[in-house]
């Protein structure tokens, strides 16, 4: 009575099974290809962002080796009208601090942190707030050692700074 519902009872049912197996394999391949392609694109984007951060870090290390000891920290001007002394602050090269590249230096300068002394007296928490406000590209940086590094630079302790930076990992003690 129910024999005609059994696909194995018919002698020519083998091609139907083979067709279903081929269709399932093709669909599985297409779905896997699309899924893998999107993952590869995301990983390539992440890799490019990391390469940019590595370049910034390497440039900041090169700046330490190439930067001479600054001899002038401020210039004093006397205005003839009111005869008051105005000190114009010359910005220091904050890229000497390991972990700070050109873009982070610009962020700090925009927030009024222009000198080693200003960076040395700024808390790591405040620096982290500046980085977080700048967006996800800067949030990964850890500024915990930046004030101490800039204190070495402010005090002219270049050998101690260089020795400590050799021990750091991208500006971190971890």
Average pLDDT per block of 10 residues along the chain, 174 residues long: 60 77 93 86 87 81 61 54 54 90 92 93 93 89 91 92 80 58
Q: Supply the pLDDT for residue 83.
A: 44
Q: What are phi and psi of 169, to 5 degrees?
A: -120, 100
**Angle of helix 146-154 relative to helix 124-134, nearest 10 degrees?**
120
Q: Supply the pLDDT for residue 36.
A: 86
C-alpha 73/C-alpha 96 separation (Å) is 15
Q: Supply the pLDDT for residue 60.
A: 73
Q: What's CA 33's distance to the chain center, in Å?
A: 31
61 sits in which H/E element: helix 14-66
Q: Is 21 helix (H, G, I), strand (E, B) or coil?
A: helix
Which residues sit opposite 75 in a β-bridge?
A: 88
User: Terminal CA-to-CA distance of the chain, rounded, Å?
Assistant: 76
Instruction: Residue count of the chain, please give it.
Output: 174
Q: Supply the pLDDT for residue 42.
A: 86
How many other C-beta atoms are found inside a 10 Å radius of the C-beta of residue 111? 16
Q: Supply the pLDDT for residue 84.
A: 44
Q: Is 165 helix (H, G, I), strand (E, B) or coil?
A: helix
């Amino acid at each position: 009575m129910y024999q005609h519902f059994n696909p194995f009872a018919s002698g020519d049912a083998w091609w139907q099974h083979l067709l279903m197996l081929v269709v399932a394999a093709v669909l599985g391949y297409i779905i896997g290809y699309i899924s893998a392609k999107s993952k590869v694109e995301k990983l390539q984007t992440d890799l490019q962002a990391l390469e940019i951060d590595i370049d910034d870090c390497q440039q900041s290390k090169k700046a330490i080796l190439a930067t001479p000891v600054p001899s002038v920290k401020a210039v004093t001007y006397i205005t003839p009208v009111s005869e008051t002394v105005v000190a114009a602050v010359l910005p220091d090269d904050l890229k000497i601090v390991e972990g700070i590249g050109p873009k982070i230096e610009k962020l700090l300068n925009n927030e009024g942190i222009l000198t080693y002394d200003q960076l040395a007296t700024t808390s790591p928490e405040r620096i982290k707030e500046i980085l977080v406000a700048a967006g996800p590209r800067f949030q990964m940086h850890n500024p915990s050692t930046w004030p101490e590094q800039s204190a070495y630079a402010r005090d002219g302790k270049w050998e101690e700074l260089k020795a400590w930076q050799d021990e750091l990992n991208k500006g971190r003690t971890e």
